[in-house]
Amino acid sequence: MIDYFAIFLTHGLIVLVCWRLLAREDLDDPLAAPPPAPGKPGTRKRRRRDKGRGGDV
């Protein structure tokens, strides 16, 4: 009996969350999207590995 209750409760909550997400007005509005993050993509500096240096001497 408790197994059915636990399954019903968890699945019911998942259905409720999906229903509320799909009912949001801003899903269909492209102007409601958040602004892009500041900075240009790919501006992160990469660390370079020095091959042949710093190893066993």
Reported as a single tens digit per residue, the pLDDT across 6-24 is 999 999 999 999 999 999 8
Q: What is the pTM of this model?
A: 0.47
The answer to whether residue 37 sits within a structural domain is no
The answer to whether residue 57 sits within a structural domain is no
Tally the domains of the chain: 1
- Mean per-residue pLDDT for 15-42? 79
The answer to whether residue 21 sits within a structural domain is yes
The answer to whether residue 3 sits within a structural domain is yes
Any long-range contacts for 32-40 (C-beta under 8 Å, 24+ apart)?
none
Are the C-beta atoms of residues 26 and 32 closer than 8 Å to each other?
A: yes
